[in-house]
Chain A
Amino acid sequence: MNDHGHISVRTYWNVFGGLMLLMGLTIGAYYIEKLVLPLPEIVAVGIALLIAFTKTALIVTFFMHLKVSSRLAQLFAASSFVWLLIMFMITMGDYFARGWPAQTGPLS
């Protein structure tokens, strides 16, 4: 870290502030959805995931020094998410196409 870039203490505090803000946001969004403005479930999950990914990006980039790490470390960090995506896309693709659990038909 000394030789290739540096993240200042100030940045750490800023990032921490950002994380707390996002956490407030995700809890806030939850209660708003529940009490004030009922959103479709998929939107609610989408918002929560979006916030979670933003928090992850903040932690990975600054706390875990990925911003100033070698290209190789960045590649490995990215690869795990790419492989998760592969697993999710293919498996969920099967479930979407299959329609599991089997729905009972209109005549039953």
Chain B
Amino acid sequence: MSTSAIPQNYTSTRADSATEWIKSWLLTVDHKRIAILYLLSINFFFLLGGLAASLVRVELVTPQGDLMTADMYNRMFTLHGVIMVFFFLIPAIPAVMGNFLVPLMIGARDLAFPRLNLLSWYLYMGGGVFALVAAITGGVDTGWTFYTPFSSSYSNSNVILTMSGAFIMGFSSILTGLNFIVTIHKMRAPGMTWFRLPLFIWANYATSLIQILATPVLGIALLLVMVERVWRVGIFDPALGGDPLLFQHLFWFYSHPAVYIMILPAMGVISELISAFSRKRIFGYEFIAFSSIAIAVLGFLVWGHHMFVSSQSVYSGLVFSFITMLVAIPSAIKVFNWTATLYKGSISYRTPMLYALGFIGLFIIGGLTGIFLGVVAVDIHVTDTYFVVAHFHYVMVGGTIMAYLGGIHYWWPKMTGRMYNEAWGAISALVVFVGFNMTFFPQFVMGYLGMPRRYHVYPEEFQIYHVLSTAGASILGLGFIIPIIYLTLSLFVGKVAGPNPWAATGLEWSIASPPPTHNFDQTPVVTEEAYAYPEDAAAQDSDSWQAGSHL
């Protein structure tokens, strides 16, 4: 494996012609190839959503609306929201890393239903095509939340097309979740007990439960709005006896848990990274594992905190507010356990670890401001301001995207068999961190001062914050472009990684990189817990340290 040649693996094909080769990818049922298909398509949508975000940010440099009309601006931020939420954040970590790693980590040859897995990729692409067609032919102006009665009765944009896209993508998400649940229950290698599972698996399991229980409710809510639009009848139209708030109930019954669909797998990735680069057994394994399940369950009980000011009953508001506080407990348990894992660990600041540490810091800010927003009184003050925007970007970008990038860097050698340029990796991690904070921290300030979201013109006193934010966004954008370049280059010039470049534990590191098509030559038998790093790893590492070594 130390030679420069990469052995036969899941990416090599015996195709004679280009058509054969394309077929071997587009009709594959190998979970690893499907993960690569997802990687490419999800990153495409990420760039598209990022482009929309850039245009929004550029428009906001000046207080006047000079780049776009109000209507165009509405369509632009909706495009950004729809693409990022439905086509990037929700599928990102489960569909790319989960697909690649779940079977590898539990010692299975594939997911339980490989063809279903391929079907969910096609559904994802199908949904994506709908969303793209909707965007090209005029876009949507409802915001990604599709609130009624605007979306059902008044909006003149491509609501139905976009909703169909989200609806179809929802089924892709359900099928992925279903596949993971069955795989994790039924396909574990001998000896792989529940408490020997890597925490990434626990996190994905919790995510999958949310996906199968919550997504169909969004599906039916969107379906009812589409019916209402097509036949001009009112289910959510107050003029026709309907209650627009019912849509919000159904929508947030999905979309609040969906926030945990985005962040839970990210937390799973972070657990892996922290442990691997501290070379230490993770602190409080059971607590982290069960806190994932607790977050998944509690996540279903708090949706009303999105509706504090939308005429929901104040008593419901109080109860929702209280339960929202409870979510902080399992989230904090995770953060404390990660921090405790670092203690006396043999920490190495490799690129994935930089992202993981960045994640912890940003997630704390995002999480704590979430508590502000969970308090009814504070929320009423900052509802629909940039404070909310900053909060959820700290969780979604600072949390999910940091973990996504960290995970991609960590498992890149496993996926491709090549190492990327470490220096550029570290630089881009720092650029992302700095750019991110510069983009979104000013938004907390201006939000608190009263800058409302979703407006393209604003009073001049906010300009300084908007300019800072846009400048930060350009840095952030650069931070996303650099990895694309050096990761692509690494495919051709990268050093051959070998099976376990990080000296990490876990079944996925026990096989060749990239893994052979059937993963394991013989079914592995697991005899030890996850993260079984030697007790004295820190001492060993410091003894063997020499100038120029990585660790």
Measured CB to CB, the residues of A under 8 A from B are 72, 79-80, 83, 86-87, 90-91, 93-95, 97-98, 100-101
Contact = CB atoms under 8 A, between A and B. Distances in A.
Contacts of B340: none
A15 B319 CA distance: 43
Given A79-B213, A80-B213, A100-B243, A86 B301 contact: yes
14 contacts: A83-B300, A90-B301, A90-B303, A90-B304, A91-B249, A91-B253, A94-B312, A94-B313, A97-B314, A97-B316, A98-B311, A98-B316, A100-B243, A101-B241
Q: Is the interface of B mostly helix, strand, loop or mixed?
A: helix
B231 interface: no
Given A83-B300, A90-B301, A91-B249, A97 B213 contact: no
Contacts, number: 38
A94 B246 CA distance: 10
Contacts of A83: 213, 300
A-B residue pairs, 10 tightest by C-beta: A97-B313, A98-B313, A94-B316, A97-B315, A91-B249, A83-B213, A94-B313, A94-B312, A97-B316, A86-B300
B258 to A, nearest CB: 15
A100 B243 CA distance: 9
Contacts of B213: 79-80, 83
B550 interface: no
Given A97-B313, A98-B312, A100-B243, A87 B304 contact: no
Contacts of A98: 311-313, 316
Contacts of B246: 91
Contacts of B311: 98
Interface of B: 185, 213, 217, 241, 243, 245-246, 249, 253, 300-301, 303-304, 311-316, 319
Given A87-B217, A91-B249, 8 more contacts: A93-B313, A94-B245, A94-B304, A94-B312, A95-B313, A100-B243, A101-B241, A101-B243
B400 to A, nearest CB: 24
A86 B253 CA distance: 10
A7 to B, nearest CB: 23
A83 B297 CA distance: 10
A52 B439 CA distance: 55
Contacts of B243: 100-101
Contacts of A97: 313-316
A97 B301 CA distance: 17
B249 A94 contact: yes
A52 to B, nearest CB: 20
A72 B194 CA distance: 14
A101 B241 CA distance: 9
B141 to A, nearest CB: 28
A87 B213 CA distance: 11
A86 B246 CA distance: 15
Nearest to B320: A90
